[in-house]
Structure 1
Amino acid sequence: MEIILALGILMLLGFLGAKVSNRLKFPMVTGFIVVGMLLSPSVSGIVSKELIEQVAPITDIALGIIAFLVGGSLSINRLRRLSKQILWITMVQASLATIFVALLIILLVPYMTNLDFSFIISMALILGAVSAATAPAATLAIVHEYRAKGPLTTTLLAIVALDDAVCIVFFVICAALAEVIIGSGISLYSVFQPLISILSSILLGITVSAVSHFLKKVVHGNEEVLTVALSMVFVTSGLARLLNADPLLANMVFGFIVENYVGFETMFTVLESIENVIFALFFTLAGTHFDLGLMTAALPLALIVIIGRFSGKYIGSYIGGLISKAPEVIRKYIGLGLLPKAGVTVGLILFVAEVASFEPFIEIALNAILASVILNELAAPPLTKYAIFKAGEAYKG
């Protein structure tokens, strides 16, 4: 199918799916994803695998814009009031998600496979570590759809932004331990590359923010601001790819600095005016990655990952809230908003797929992660909506 025609169909059907989803009291995101799944190569075949590969840059662009908006939602003034809660909840829920997933795999997977136990432990460490991450896109889409504001929303967005960095640190430690357990020794590349990626991403975000500070002086009118905002996000994402940095983290840092230090808030206003188009494209395209065969083969391990991760994030959020003396509404509902996962989780699994010593288990691990991402993207939006409404922070719907 011709690319422009396909994108038009995806956006239109995604929009209609979102309207149906709203009628059924589900968030728009759920409608976008379901439509994408129905159009996917393994269901209707309307969208081919070749087409999905061709439009991959559009997904990267949309994710960059979403990450920039997430960074811009983190006001330092609000964060200062909630900093203790954010740090405790972030660390406890990320740690327990990692531990619970790893323990369930160690306890249950030996009954499902003939893999050597050392490989099972290594797989448990890696899948546990990547389970700490939370994808910001679905969370931000729901927050904006229902115009949510309040302590729970601010805390949720801050934790989502921090989760990816925490996940990468956990991953570095667990991947190194996994190599030791298998007996292949620690690779310096596997230890330092993700850490260098974090540092490069932060420095890139700071640099682009400095450039936007100078551009602010010559930009006039919303049309010019929109042009500059989009071009700067494109540049940030592109440079991150060239530098082997994380485009998501770089754009989050960029958005955070613009919001708190540059004073160029109009950049967020103009991007929010086109965010429905961005969300429709991104989430409908995300749904087209659904693979029915993969889902069937990897479902048992995927369910183990989902159950362990959900338990760890929900219980960890509650415990972190208790330690930091967070309000009851945050303790009870914040964990329900931390379930989406995608970019960083998949990216880290693809990274270890290149390590030869992990070859005996990496295929099943990769398929399980992809299957769990799809299931999470379906289940997470309604739960995030429920949390926001129960907290009384939704101002639409």
Structure 2
Amino acid sequence: MDDTAEFLTTIGGVLLFGLLTDFLGRHTFLPRVTLLLLFGLLIGHEGLDLISSVVSERFEIITNIALLMVGFLLGGKLTGESLRSCGSQLFWISVSAVAGTWLAVLLGLLTIGVQLEVAILLACVATATAPAATLDVVVETGSKGRFANLLLEIVAIDDVWALILFAFGVSLVALMMGNEEGAATILSAFWQIGGALLLGLAIGVPAAYLSGRIRPGQPMLIEALGLVFLCGGIAIWLDLSYLIASMVMGSVIVNLARHHDYPFHAIENVDSPMMVIFFVFAGASLELNALVGVGLIGVTYVVCRSAGKLLGAWLGAIWGGSGERVRRWMGLALLPQAGVAIGMALVASTRFPEHRQMLLSVVIGTSIFLN
């Protein structure tokens, strides 16, 4: 079987399995995300080894496309109306959950003797929430209403804070390790975040007024995909945070494009199959020896991350004046960890190869338990 045939056959089989997970998800307690991760683990090189290098080598591209779409859709939840109605809750819960998680994981890892540099990096990674997993569960369950909307808004802002914290965390570790480019790394962190904000605005503002004109009020799928790919491509080319750039672009469009009747529905039809492929390939990338090898560090990471999210979200909900339902359940809803955290771990392992095995083993090994 040649490379093209093998690639298409694998993708086709993965997509068809996605239909089965919809059925199983409705009749079991397991969410579709978990089923897809487990299926990926089964067919990956640690299981039946049905995914060849021809397919796995393209995982990074699939990951980027999937997260770009998720960022765009989550940005669409950040409307002026929603920010005005629950701005206090959004700010306090997102900030408190990120700060609480970072502090809990850092202190927990230091307590068991983990090196300070590694503890800082893992604490920064731990603050990220899985936007793809959360969005997929909300769509799968058909959840609507104020809680679901607030959750998606918090996830969007939560990952912005996490990415900002991670950028500066990497810079701090570089300085602590005597990296001569530490100062340049700090400037790079400002560039990645500030540049992403500017790029999202630069593409989002004209797109808000130009899209949805061919079919009045109804942006076409080709328009939505073109904007997402353009934004992502330029962001990666300029070494910016493409997730933040796509979120900003999505938020700008939804707030400025008053002539749109449903500006984000066009891309949702493509987002679903990309999510299926993304989660299966993420599961296939897991290594059983990583799951076994994380040991005490992995357990501490999971426990402290969960405690930090739960306590941080609960305190934030109190400070933001949220109701009892939000106080009780929001922290639990913010527990999933997947694509963004794995992406952060890959970036950190590239910057600090001496810590690569530890970072990837902990983050990838624990991701299957946090969905």
Is the TM value for this pair above 0.5? yes
Q: Which residue of structure 1 lines up, in the alignment, with residue 341 of structure 2? A: 345
> 2:34, 2:368 within 8 Å by CA — same for their partners in 1?
no
Aligned match of 2:13: 9
Aligned residues, how many? 366
Candidates 85, 88, 97, aligned match of 1:84: 88
2:218–2:263 CA contact under 8 A, matched in 1: no
Question: Could you tell me which of 98, 101, 109 is aligned with 1:97?
Answer: 101
1:261 to partner: Cα distance: 1.1
Q: CA deviation at 1:180?
A: 5.0
Equivalent residue for 2:130, pick from 113, 135, 153: 135
Any conservation in 2 of the 1:18–1:32 contact (CA below 8 Å)? no
Q: Which moved more, 1:18-27 or 1:87-96?
A: 18-27
- From 59, 66, 87, the counterpart of 1:62: 66
Task: Measure the CA separation in 2 of the matches of 1:13 and 1:203.
Answer: 40
Superposed displacement of residue 236, structure 1 = 1.3
Q: Cα deviations across residues 246-285 of structure 1 (Å, max 9, x unaligned)?
A: 2211111111111111233533122223443233222222
Identical counterparts, % of pairs: 28
Per the TM alignment, residue 179 of structure 1 is displaced from its structure 2 partner at its CA by 4.4
Q: 1:155 aligns with which of 122, 145, 150?
A: 150
Alignment match of 2:312 (pick from 294, 302, 316): 316
TM-score normalised by length of structure 2: 0.90
What secondary structure sits across from 1:283 in the alignment?
Answer: helix
Task: Determine if contact 2:134/2:336 at 8 Å carries over to the other structure.
Answer: yes
- In structure 1, how many angstroms separate the alpha carbons of the residues matched to 2:362 and 2:324? 34
**1:249-328 alignment to 2 at 5 Å?**
249-263=244-258, 264-328=260-324
Distance 1:184 1:275 in 2: 40
Structure 2 regions of 5+ residues with no counterpart? Answer: none
Contact map agreement 2:90 2:153 (CA 8 A) in 1: yes
RMSD of Structure 2 on Structure 1 (CA):
2.3
In the aligned structure 2, how far is the partner of 1:197 from the partner of 1:176? 12
Name the CA shift for 1:44/1:265 in 2 (closer, same or farther; >3 Å): farther
The one-letter code matched in structure 1 to 2:112 is L
Matching residue of 1:387: none
TM-score (norm 1): 0.85
Runs of 4+ in 1 over 6 A off after TM superposition: 221-224
Cα gap change, 1:155 to 1:218, in 2 (>3 Å): closer
The alignment status of 1:19 with 2:20, answered yes or no, reads no
Correspondence for 2:326 among 330, 341, 361: 330
Q: Sort the Cα spacing of 1:360 and 1:271 in 2 relative to 1 into closer, same or farther, 3 A.
A: closer
Q: Which residue in the other structure is 1:386 paired with?
A: none
1:192 matched residue in structure 2: 187
Partner SS, residue 266 of structure 1: coil
Change (3 A) 1:231 1:365: same
Local SS of the residue matching 2:294: helix
Q: 1:11 to 1:241 in 2, by over 3 A?
A: same
Equivalent-residue separation in structure 2 for 1:210 and 1:279 (angstroms)? 27
Tell me: CA distance 1:218–1:86, structure 2 relative to 1, closer, same or farther (3 Å).
closer
SS at match of 2:369: helix
Partner of 2:118: 123
Q: Is the 8 A contact 1:71 1:256 kept in 2?
A: yes
Q: For 1:128-175, what per-residue CA distance to the aligned partner results, in whole angstroms no more than 9, with x for missing partners?
A: 122111121111111122222223222211221112221233234444
CA contact (8 A) 1:299 1:371 kept: no
Say which SS state the counterpart of residue 93 (structure 2) adopts. helix
Which residue of the partner structure matches residue 223 of structure 2? 228
Tell me how far apart the structure 2 counterparts of residues 266 and 189 of structure 1 sit (CA, whole Å): 43
Equivalent AA in structure 1 for residue 359 of structure 2? A
Q: Which amino acid aligns with 1:211?
A: P
Q: Matches of 1:80 and 1:25 in 2, distance apart?
A: 35
